[in-house]
Every structure is written in C-alpha cells, then in structure tokens.
Structure 1
C-alpha cells in the first residue's frame, strides 16, 4: 500500500504528464511485476500509471482552445449550491450541451446581477466561455490546480439566459433548506449555520473567513472530516453509553449496532452536505475506522489510515492537488502519533490540550509546503472552539434543522445555535486581535526538512533522547532565507494581479511597492495576492508605497497592504482622492533619491486633466540599467513627459495603461526605445488591452514582450542586464500557456 500510495502521489509533483499510452504501458508492466519479488515496484507503477491517465483525461475534458473567449448558447443542469456574493451568482453547470461545439462535462459560471439560481434547475444560457486560467504569484492560491482537482473544464460569464426546467429531487430540497436556514433568526449567524449544516460557506463574509484564518479555525466552519467524525462519534457514544448503563437490550450486541448507526449517521450528514469530494473522503475514513473498531483492531491503528488514503487516491487521483487532502490526512496521522501507544490515560482536558498543541507543531511543515498562513493563536482558539462547536453548536444546528417543521421549536434551537456562534466569533475576534495569522517566508528544501524533523522530534513522547533538539531545528522559521540583491542592484517583481498593477522593487536594505492591485467588492487583490506574495518574498516592511493614481485597479488593494504590513510612507499622483486612512502625500515631480546605490526619480504632469494623466511616473536606474514605470499616462501626458527634458531612455518599460491604444504613442515609444516591455493585464479583459496597434509599435523596435497573462508574475534583476523570468515558465502539468 505504501508503494501504491507513493505512485499515486507522484502525480502532484510532475511538470508534465506522459502520454496516455505510456501510462497504460507502465500500469501493465506493474501488473506483470506483482507475482515477483519486485511487487512493490509493480504497485508503484500501477498507481503512477492510473494517476497519470486519470489526470490526462481531466485535461482532455477542458474547453477547446478555439472556443476560448467565444460566446455560445448552451443548456445544462445546475449542480451543488449556487453562491451569491456582491450581486454575483456563481454556480456549476454539468453535462452542458451546445449545437455548435462539444463542451466540458463540468463548468463554473458567474452571472453578474443575475436572477436567483437554484441547485437542480436546468437553464439555457448565453455564456462567454474561458479555458481554466489563474493568477500565478509567489505562494499564492493556485486556481488552475483547484479547478482541475474539481474536474472543472471551463469557466465563463453568463450574458443572458432563461430557466428551462425547475429543480426537483435532492438538489431542490437542499437549496430550499438553505433558504430556510439563511432566513432564520440566528442573531446574524445564519450563514455560519448553513455552512455547518449544508457545507455552504457562501453566507460567511470575507471578514468572517479572515477571522477564521487568523485563528486557525476554518476547519470548524466547513463540513470536513471533523464534523463527519463528530456525528459518527456522537451516535457511537450514544449506543455505547446505553450499553454501559444497562439500558441496551441484552440480546442485541451493542458494538455492531453502534458502528452501523455511527456509519449511517456519517453518510446521512454527508448526503446533507452534498457528498462533495472532501465529505466522501471523510466518510471513507470514518467507515474504515468503524470497521477496524468492530473486527480488525488486531491489525493496528495505521492500517485504516493507509487503506483510506489508498482508496481515496484510487477513486480520485486528482485529490492530491487539493490542500484539504494533505491537511486532513496529516491531521489524522498526527492524532494517531500523539495518542497511539501511550502508557496510561490522560484526562479529557489534557487530551484536548495535547491534541491542539500537537496539531500546531505537526501541521507546521504541511502549511509551509502548501504556502498557507500559520496561525499563532490556533492552539488557544481551537482549545475553546472545538468543544464549543462540536458539543454545543453542531448538535443544536442539526437538531434545529430536523425540527424546523415543528412550530417555533426548530427556530428556537437555531436561535440558540446562532447565539452560541455569535459568542464564539466575538471571542475569536479578541484572540485574533493579539495573534493574527503569520505567513513565513518561502523556505529552501533543506530548511523545510530541518523544520519537519524538528516538528517530528517535538511530537515524540517525553523522555525520548534529543527531543528538545526539535526547538533548535525550528530556527529556520525565524531566519531570512530570501537572498537580498547586492548593492547597486534591484530586484523587480511585476505581480500577476489581473487587470491592474502591483510592482515590487527591492534593494539590499529597502523595499518599494508601486501600486497595490485592484479590489472588486470583497475580493481584494491586495489581501489575496499582493500581501501574501510580499510575505513569501520576506518583505516585512515597505519603506514606500507609491500609488501612481487613485483608480481602483492601481490603488484598490492599498488599504489591505497598510493593515497587513508596516508602511513608512505613502505617495501618490492623486493623494487627495485616496482614503484619508492611508495618509498619502503628493508625488513631487523631479524628486529623486538613492537606496543602496540604486537611483529613483519621480515625474508627474502638473497640468493633468484626469486621473490617468495624473499618474506618478517612476524611473529606476541600477548600474546603468533603467526601468520606467508609467502608471496609466495617456498620449497627452506622454507628450508632456517628453517636453520635460527628462532622459527617458530605458531598458525596461512598463507599458502605459496596460497597453491601451490611448497610450504608447509612436514618439514616446521611440524616445524610450526599450529592449523589453512589461505588460500587466487581465486575461480576456473588457478593454482589449493590449491593443494590436500598440503591440506593433513595440514589435517594430524590436522589443521583447513580457505579459503577466502568458508568464504569470515576472521577476528581473535590474543592474545585471539579464532576462525576465515568469513563474508560469516553471512547468506544472495543470498550467496552460
């Protein structure tokens, strides 16, 4: 089983997939090895071949390239529970059919200002379809991997549509139940109750998710293995308690009844939650544990975990692309390690405290490898929240949901559950205010191995020799593993923030952020992309945040940056149009300074007539190599910049206004004469950036183009006259050019 699991897990780390015929040939070779002494190698090849073939089939089910960006009429059924946020309805459509093309089996669609959409309904829609694509930044959420793990072959935006068939059956019942829960009087926590009962987290606000992340309690608000195990444990404990107190019929063996009832309860809870992949994984694990408890305890405690891991990966090899897969199995393994083989029994309070402390230490290497934040307050928060939610809130919520048909009784229980949740959220807010989540810098492989070894040593029983050495092995977390550029050079990152801009410039001892990315409602690129990227790159303080102007696509994420990092100064070409909380000062044209041998010069058009023209332009020079950052200046501002007498020759140019036709005039392009042009934009953006005429002007120089859509976040070292590198150039089999 270890060899089989290893073969299945290798898929996660492949830069490219072998052809399907080769994967099948490897699996066949593995079958031939089974009767020999090389049977472990055989099981490895079987797992590897099956995982690669399954992944290739999922890739083949993606939207055809010739349909990317096209609008088609299609018809399909809504699956799962649609999400509504900021007036946008997001839902998944399955088995969609179109007269003009063959479509992927499952698609994820967004409908701006759309009508109510219910699970199970059939719709005829006009959709602008897109191939799966995500932003690629240092240690950011990999949306493309998530889409492939869900076997979603296309995304799209709905232009119009009509309902063809009303919902019926279990999907309609689940959606109706969600509406009842969201409409209940739960002291403002109806969305959290829907998350606990149905696994629908769309009712939780961005602030709620941020609070749960800061306190390491996200697992409590989604139906995960913990909730399924809790339901099974409550039912198992009920039968065991009745048997212990002499209330169970003597003629009925209590253990088979307890295991059967517990598994039935886990399956029922899973079906209520929609039986998605994480829930199915949890049900498999719970079922195997109950089977082990009933008949196979002599086989040890690790065997059920290995069997569950193998079964989950055989059924869905792409599960390894999901962070939840690694966290859930790692958590179960840690609990076995912490409590297995101990001499004597611990009190329940000691057991709970030991479990939370062990989870905080043991999951640290997993969180670092996945690029997820580490919550310093998680042990304390979970020590309170786990029993509070598990023993009080979930039973009240489920019982209240079950009794909703009974006048006032079900509503009263939901009100009590909502009140308990509100009290918990207030307590978590107090904890998070003192100990927010922490994202360490990206570690090298050797540093990560030291941290993992240190965590393992600390989890061993007291008295094991060299156990205290584990604390010293955790020291790489406190060091700065990211190499700083030498004096006279600057490291430049053009982050992939979609239709917006965020550029990090770092010298040996200083850091400057030019623009902070956009914000769309509750989706803040400053919080979701820029801030995690800065932390991953070991930027803990900004000496200057320079916001070219006040447009949302350049300054929308600024507030999140100021709240998450120490920012000494904020300058902007439109300081007066920014929120007063930023404390922005005006960009002073002609101002220049030096950091560690790198020279910076500002320019702003004093007679600017609109926001774009008021953009603050930044010229950076390191060892004779020059970079010009232009914000959103248009051709009029470009003429003023040319007339200023400033030496505009630059090796690198950030295309003004994302490559808009109103910018990059011929005179300006000739004056700058860049060797390379950086373009920051969103894929399939509504403005058509960059314009073909602008691209032709740069191509005539000729200048090499670097596009965040094609290459992801761009990195270059100013002062070395080297090439720019895109993170998308680092091969992953699920990423597409």
Structure 2
C-alpha cells in the first residue's frame, strides 16, 4: 500500500505525461510482476499508471485551442454552490452543449451584473470561452494546476443568458438560502462556511484574519469537524446504553458505529466532499470498524489507507496544497502521540498538539510557499475547543432544527454571536502578529529543516533531538543570495492587465509600478507584496509609480501597508492615496546604487494620464533597461530629444504594446534587443496590437509576454538570457510557443 501511494504521488513530480504506448507498456509490466510477488514495484507502477491515465483524461477535456476567445451560446446545468463577489456571480456548468462544438465537462464562468443563479438550474448562456489559465509567478499560486485538479476544462465570461429550467435536487443550495435568511448577528457567512464548506461569503478581511492566525482550517470543513460529529453521536448512544436508556432489542455497539459513520458521511455530503472530508470519512470508518470488530489496526495503517483511497478516487488531488497540509497534520499528530510511554496530562493533551502541528507543518508550508502564522499555536489553543464544543454543535443543531419555528433561528443566533466573539479576539491577535511570508529557501536548506522538524517531533530523551531547533531555524533564516556588485536583478511579475517590476541591486530595492486593483481584487496584496517578501525584501528604497492609473498604481496602498518604503515617486501625484506622500518625477534626476545607474525622464508638456508616465532608465555594466510606463507617440517623440534615447538592450513595451505607442521612429532609435510586455491574457484592449508586434519582429527583437510566458527574471549587467516562469516544466502547463 505504501508503494501504491508513492506511485500515485509521483504524478506531482512529472514534467510531462508519458505517451499512450509507454503507459500501456508500464501497465503491462506491472501486471507481469504480480505473479512473481514483486508487489512493491508492481503496485508502484500500477499507481503511477492510474494517476497518469486520470491526468491525461483531464488534459484531454480542456477547451480546444480553436474555441479559445470565441463567444458561443451554451446550455448547461449549474452545479455546486454559486459564489457572489460584489457585482459578479461565479458558478460552474456541467452537461454543457453548444452547436457544432465539443465542450469540456465542467466550465467555470463569471457573470458580472447577472441575476441570481442557483444550483441545479439549467441556463442558456452566451459565454466568451477561455482555456484554463491564470497568473504564473515564480512563487505564487498556480491557478492552472488548481483548475486542472478541479477538472475544470474551460473558464468564461457570461455576456447574456436565460433560465431554461428551475433547480432540481439542489438541497445544499436550499440549505444555504435558509442560512442566509436567518439573523446570526452578522456572521451568517461564517456559519455557511462552517456548515456547508462554502466560504465565498466571507469578507477579504475575515480571510486575512484567519490566515494571520493560522485558523483557516476551522472555517472550512476539515477532518476535525467530521471526527467531532461522529464522536458525539457515538458517545451519545454509548451513554444511553450505559445508563439503561437504550432499547435492549437493538445492540448498542453496531448502532453506535453505524449511526456515527452515517453522520460523518452526511456531514461530508453537506460540506461538498472535499479532500479533507474524504480522508476523515475513511479514517472514521476504519476506527469504527476496529471498534466493532475489536481489532487493532495500528495508527499508520488507517492514514495510509485513507491516502490511497483519496488518490485512487482523484489522483489530481496531489496538485492542491490542502491535500498535503491535511495529511501532514494527521501524520504529525500520529508521530507525536504514538509510541509514548505513559499518558499525557489533560493540560499537555490540550496544549502540545498545537505546538507540535506548528513545528511539523512548518516545512510543508515553506515548500508550498504559503504564509506561516506565528500566532497559530496560541490562537488554536482557544479557537479549536471554542469552535468544536460551542459554535459547531450550535450551528449544526440549529440548521437541522430550522423547520421548527424560532428554535433553529435561535440556535443559529447564538452560534453567530459565539463566532463573532471569536473573530473579534482573532482580529486583535492578527493585528499584533500578522502572518509571516519567509524568503525563498534552497532545496538543501529545506531538507535540513524537514529533518529538524522530525527530530523535534520525536519523544524526549532521544539522542540529538536538541539539534532539531537550529536545523529548523536554518530554513527560517537562510543565507541570502546577494546580487553581484554592478548588476541588478529585474523581475517582471505576472499581474494580468497591469504592470509591476522589482529591481534589486546588492543592497537596494526599487519597485516600478505596483500592479492593478479592481474592487476588492488587489494584486498588490496578492502578488506584488508576497513576491517582495519571497525575495527576502523587508524594505523598499523607492516605489516608483509611472502614473496614477489603477492598472499601474492600484496595488500601491497594499504594498505601502505591508512594508516600509523610504521614498515614493510618481509621474502623477494626483489620484494617489495621500498617505503615500508621493514626490513628483523630476526629469534628469540621476543616482547610483551599488554600481548601477538610474535616471528619470518625464515629458514636460504632458498634462495628465498616460503621457505623463515617469520613465526610468537603468544601466548596469553597459547593459540598459528602459521602463516607459504608458507613454504614447507624442511622449515618445519628445523623448527622442533626451539623453535616454540611445540603443537599449531591454525595453518595457510602452502602454502594454498598444497601437498608440511603440512608434517606428522610437523603436528605430532604441533598437531594443529584447522587449518586455505585461498584459492580461485575452484582454479587452487587444494588447499587444499586431502592428506593434510586426515592428518588433522587423527589428529582430525577442519578445517576452507575461500572458504567454508568465513572470520574467533577468540579470541586468550579466548579458545573460532571462528565465521565464513557464519554462519551469509541469505536465499541466502548456508548452512555450
């Protein structure tokens, strides 16, 4: 079974899936090995074959390239729970049909300003289809992997639609509608997340509080919730039998085990049957089976069986961070509690698991690139029993009793008040100790950290256990790789239809533009700030905002709130938050950091908007980079008379490659060897324009497009080729053109 698990997990490491011929050969070899009792190798190959077949099926179900960007009328059934965020509603379609086109089995769409949509309804929708994709940065969330793990074969934007049939068998959605309508002291969204596993209604600030305090697992359905409900049902029946209140004609033990497992399955179905729920249901079933048959299964065998069971049902689950955290947390508890001589006291059993989980999950969070909460042990010490013993029982009982007038509503009102009080306490704690995003760690340091965490989880008295602390902290504070003197590391982030570049010299960091913000969707907070921290940046020497448009300066406030900034310079000071204290861009200003020269330029006749963009030229060892913001042709003509109009190695395409920029006279003077384009895939503006791309091609310039290649990293001053995020091969990513 361990070999089977390794084979299933090996899928995560593949850069490309084997061809059909190779799969048949591997499967045949595995079957041939079985009669010779070489079970480990045979089951490893069987697991790998099944995982590859399942993954290839998901890849084949993606939207065909010919349909990418097309708008089609599609009929389909709404599945899952639609999520409303601001003016937009997001939902998934299944059983989709369109004339003369084969569509994926599942399509995820967004409808801005659309009517209410409920699970189970059938709709006819005009959808602009897109192949599954997302922002791709070196250390960021991989949207493409997440979509594949959800088996979503296409995304899209709804333009218009009509409801064809009302909802059928949409009991989860009907429960949510009932919960939305009750008065839970303003915490209806939290109770919906706790009961149904749907956290779409939680505010961004609530998610931030949960992340900062390491309590996200309490507001999404986890194994703890499933196990708690099963334990309550089992304990209730056992108590009734002990005091003679259980009918003697019904054997109490089979009834307790059966009803407890039924409650776990029912709650799992109510919560949507995610990976933590599947794992918990399998493990609860094994424990109850052991109790019924009086057999000792050990501690690791149920975990291994749950791991194999989840991966056999969905091999792509290993692409999701939650899968690794879910099983790692249980493995940490098993390692910490198993093999101990003598029981722990009540105080030890309450406090130690939180610290042990914090230590054990540290390497997992580090390698997954997730924030690490420093206050998690303290927060969970109070939050876990409060949610488990107060909020969750009230919420589930209140939901079950909603048909009774005033009873269910009253219980949910109490549950909402209890949850609100907990959130107030967590918000205070998050304000004192926000989540920590560690810098990027090399593989060697991470392996040392993993070994240190394992040593600390072992019982006291074992040799060399004390060495676990320095080994663990080595990954927390790894030696920083310095940028060579006279060079600058340039990182163009993938922020969609916007722009943000990080420039690091040996001792200084400059941020040119801060990414877009649209409503509550702030890429300054989601991409730019985490990327700075992953690079080990704790302070910005300068944030240079080319101009005040939201796609360039929208994320500036989030960056300024997240880390100290010595100086803010902007092409436009109007339209930027006052607390930034933005200084105007001054043409001709020149300075040097660590042997690298920086110089500013701005068109003096520009009034506002794109032509007023602050241009930055960077020179390192004779290699030049020119960042132009959104200047237009008029500003380009004026710039030809400046000292910056010289042959340039790297050019950031003005205005994302718009037709109103990148004039031939401008490009002919600069003769860019390489061009950086930052834009959103399938954007509504048509960037970059075909005429502009033809000019770059005529010059022989190498174009690096964030929509096609993701983030780009280059070492200015080394005259070396850049590294693009999509060059890091993964089987779920499309190959570079």
Provide the TM-score with structure 1 as the length reference.
Answer: 0.98
In terms of mean alpha carbon deviation, does 511-520 or 602-611 score higher? 602-611
SS of structure 2 residue aligned to 1:57: helix
Shift, 1:291, TM fit? 1.9
Shift, 1:21, TM fit? 3.1
| Post-superposition CA distance 1:581-633 (Å, at most 9, x none) | 22211111111100000000001122213311111100000000000000011
Alignment of 1:610-689 (within 5 A): 610-689=608-687
Specify which of 176, 179, 182 is matched with residue 178 of structure 1. Answer: 176
Q: Please tell me whether the aligned partners of residues 397 and 417 of structure 1 are also in contact (alpha carbons under 8 angstroms).
A: yes
- 1:3 paired to 2:36: no
| Post-superposition CA distance 1:121-167 (Å, at most 9, x none) | 00001100000111111221111111010111000001111000000
| Post-superposition CA distance 1:334-384 (Å, at most 9, x none) | 111111122222233321211101100001111111111110000000111
Distance in 2, matches of 1:559 and 1:606, equals 27
Distance in 2, matches of 1:301 and 1:697, equals 66
Distance in 2, matches of 1:124 and 1:388, equals 45
Question: In the alignment, which residue of structure 2 is the partner of 1:501?
Answer: 499
Change (3 A) 1:368 1:28: same
Distance in 2, matches of 1:534 and 1:137, equals 12
Q: Please tell me whether the aligned partners of residues 275 and 310 of structure 2 are also in contact (alpha carbons under 8 angstroms).
A: no
Paired residues in the alignment total 735
Q: Which runs of 5+ in 1 are unaligned?
A: none
Q: Please tell me whether the aligned partners of residues 215 and 431 of structure 1 are also in contact (alpha carbons under 8 angstroms).
A: yes
Question: In the alignment, which residue of structure 2 is the partner of 1:224?
Answer: 222
Question: In the alignment, which residue of structure 1 is the partner of 2:148?
Answer: 148
Question: In the alignment, which residue of structure 1 is the partner of 2:139?
Answer: 139
Shift, 1:714, TM fit? 0.1
Shift, 1:276, TM fit? 4.1
- 1:235 paired to 2:267: no
In terms of mean alpha carbon deviation, does 134-143 or 22-31 score higher? 22-31
SS of structure 2 residue aligned to 1:613: helix
Distance in 2, matches of 1:255 and 1:576, equals 73
Question: In the alignment, which residue of structure 2 is the partner of 1:305?
Answer: 303
| Post-superposition CA distance 1:9-56 (Å, at most 9, x none) | 000011100013322321221121112242211111111111111100
In terms of mean alpha carbon deviation, does 571-580 or 52-61 score higher? 571-580
Shift, 1:246, TM fit? 4.8
For the aligned residue pairs, the C-alpha RMSD in angstroms reads 1.4
Question: In the alignment, which residue of structure 2 is the partner of 1:441?
Answer: 439
Distance in 2, matches of 1:521 and 1:47, equals 45
Question: In the alignment, which residue of structure 1 is the partner of 2:62?
Answer: 62
Question: In the alignment, which residue of structure 1 is the partner of 2:53?
Answer: 53
Question: In the alignment, which residue of structure 2 is the partner of 1:421?
Answer: 419
- 1:194 paired to 2:202: no
Q: Please tell me whether the aligned partners of residues 27 and 47 of structure 1 are also in contact (alpha carbons under 8 angstroms).
A: no
- 1:578 paired to 2:584: no
Distance in 1, matches of 2:302 and 2:613, equals 61
Alignment of 1:220-619 (within 5 A): 220-249=218-247, 252-295=250-293, 297-619=295-617
Q: Please tell me whether the aligned partners of residues 515 and 545 of structure 1 are also in contact (alpha carbons under 8 angstroms).
A: yes
Question: In the alignment, which residue of structure 2 is the partner of 1:115?
Answer: 115
| Post-superposition CA distance 1:95-136 (Å, at most 9, x none) | 101112000000100001111100000000110000011111
| Post-superposition CA distance 1:266-316 (Å, at most 9, x none) | 111112223345433332232223223333642311111111111111111
Q: Please tell me whether the aligned partners of residues 133 and 736 of structure 1 are also in contact (alpha carbons under 8 angstroms).
A: no
Distance in 1, matches of 2:404 and 2:247, equals 31
| Post-superposition CA distance 1:372-416 (Å, at most 9, x none) | 111000000011101101110011111111111222121111111
Distance in 2, matches of 1:726 and 1:430, equals 40
In terms of mean alpha carbon deviation, does 693-702 or 254-263 score higher? 254-263
| Post-superposition CA distance 1:187-211 (Å, at most 9, x none) | 1110001111111111101111111
| Post-superposition CA distance 1:426-463 (Å, at most 9, x none) | 00011111111111112111101110111111111111
Change (3 A) 1:645 1:141: closer
Distance in 2, matches of 1:103 and 1:478, equals 46
Change (3 A) 1:417 1:159: same
| Post-superposition CA distance 1:474-507 (Å, at most 9, x none) | 2323434442211000000000010000100000
In terms of mean alpha carbon deviation, does 319-328 or 23-32 score higher? 23-32
Q: Please tell me whether the aligned partners of residues 28 and 46 of structure 1 are also in contact (alpha carbons under 8 angstroms).
A: no
Shift, 1:678, TM fit? 0.5
SS of structure 2 residue aligned to 1:35: helix
In terms of mean alpha carbon deviation, does 339-348 or 617-626 score higher? 339-348
Alignment of 1:700-715 (within 5 A): 700-715=698-713
Question: In the alignment, which residue of structure 2 is the partner of 1:732?
Answer: 730
Distance in 2, matches of 1:95 and 1:182, equals 28
| Post-superposition CA distance 1:250-277 (Å, at most 9, x none) | 5654333222111111111112223345
- 1:95 paired to 2:99: no
Q: Please tell me whether the aligned partners of residues 625 and 721 of structure 1 are also in contact (alpha carbons under 8 angstroms).
A: yes
Distance in 2, matches of 1:116 and 1:276, equals 25
SS of structure 2 residue aligned to 1:155: strand
Shift, 1:533, TM fit? 1.4
In terms of mean alpha carbon deviation, does 213-222 or 643-652 score higher? 643-652
Shift, 1:215, TM fit? 0.5
Q: Please tell me whether the aligned partners of residues 105 and 153 of structure 1 are also in contact (alpha carbons under 8 angstroms).
A: yes
SS of structure 1 residue aligned to 2:36: coil
Q: Please tell me whether the aligned partners of residues 180 and 189 of structure 2 are also in contact (alpha carbons under 8 angstroms).
A: yes
SS of structure 1 residue aligned to 2:511: strand
Question: In the alignment, which residue of structure 2 is the partner of 1:691?
Answer: 689
Q: Please tell me whether the aligned partners of residues 448 and 475 of structure 2 are also in contact (alpha carbons under 8 angstroms).
A: no
Distance in 2, matches of 1:57 and 1:509, equals 49
Distance in 2, matches of 1:572 and 1:291, equals 67
Q: Please tell me whether the aligned partners of residues 20 and 52 of structure 1 are also in contact (alpha carbons under 8 angstroms).
A: no
